[in-house]
Amino acid sequence: MITVHHLNDSRSHRILWLLEELKAPYEIINYQRDKLTRLAPQELKEIHPLGKSPVIMHNNKTIIESAAIVTYIIDHFANESFSPQQQDSDYYEYLELMHYAEGSAITPFLLLLYTRILGDNAKPLLPRIFSEITNHLSFLSSKLDKNNFFFRNEFSGIDIMVSFVLEGAQLSKSLDPFPNLQAILKRYQSRDAYHEAIKKGGEYSLAKHSNN
């Protein structure tokens, strides 16, 4: 059984969502953000020195980083049709988008969040941040094109990873020029497993900003 060290209202929602999609057995250990700083509590550092969530434990292994966790869970709990095999011609295309979400696309959204603290002093940075947001969302929009899902037009680990970027985009009202990204986010947020993850993991404020 997988143990998920789950920080409330955080990226670890998507790990619970994946586990629900796969109907994999798991238990949750809950951590609460500090109400003022939104930082994780000290106890999470006892699980992993970075003190970030998600963290999973399974068979005496401790694993951090959403993309690694998603890959691990899919490798252990999904059937073969859920993700490509290494010998498949599109395997590296899959890997690319899997890692792109946290490796690149999320950066301008985090900058927007962090620079908010500066109030008006952040203004000179905003054009660059928003041009990067447009750059990444344009790329994702063209990758998705008219399909329902990003990879082989079927729900995959990529959707789990990219969802957080799209939720950040929705929050910053950057999705309007990209109707196909708005539509896929709705598709994610209307899945039963997405809602089940909220029931088990508690409130997820990024879900509330949807236009559902």
Ligand X SMILES: N[C@@H](CCC(=O)N[C@@H](CS)C(=O)NCC(=O)O)C(=O)O
Residues that bind ligand X (CB under 6 A): 7, 10-11, 39-40, 51-54, 65-66, 102
Closest separation in Å from C-beta 204 to ligand X: 11
Nearest residue (CB) to ligand X, 39 versus 126? 39
Closest separation in Å from C-beta 122 to ligand X: 20
Which candidate, 61, 40, 60, 62, places its Cα nearest to that of 51?
Answer: 40
Report the distance separating Cα 87 and Cα 92, nearest Å. Answer: 10
Alpha carbon of residue 211 to chain centroid:
19
Closest separation in Å from C-beta 87 to ligand X: 28
The CB density around residue 38, as the number of other CB atoms within 10 Å, is 11
Q: Which residues make Cβ contacts (< 8 Å) with residue 74, sequence separation at least 6?
A: 18, 22, 82, 83, 157
Return the HEC string of 155-187: CCHHHHHHHHHHHHHHHCCCCCCCHHHHHHHHH
Nearest residue (CB) to ligand X, 49 versus 127? 49
Closest separation in Å from C-beta 34 to ligand X: 8
Nearest residue (CB) to ligand X, 103 versus 179? 103
Nearest residue (CB) to ligand X, 54 versus 84? 54
Nearest residue (CB) to ligand X, 65 versus 93? 65
Closest separation in Å from C-beta 145 to ligand X: 26
Q: Taking each helix axis from N to C terminus, what angle separates 107-115 and 157-171, rounded to the nearest 10 degrees?
A: 30
Which candidate, 196, 182, 193, places its Cα nearest to that of 144?
Answer: 182
Closest separation in Å from C-beta 67 to ligand X: 7
Nearest residue (CB) to ligand X, 74 versus 183? 74
User: What letter would DSSP give residue 101?
Assistant: I
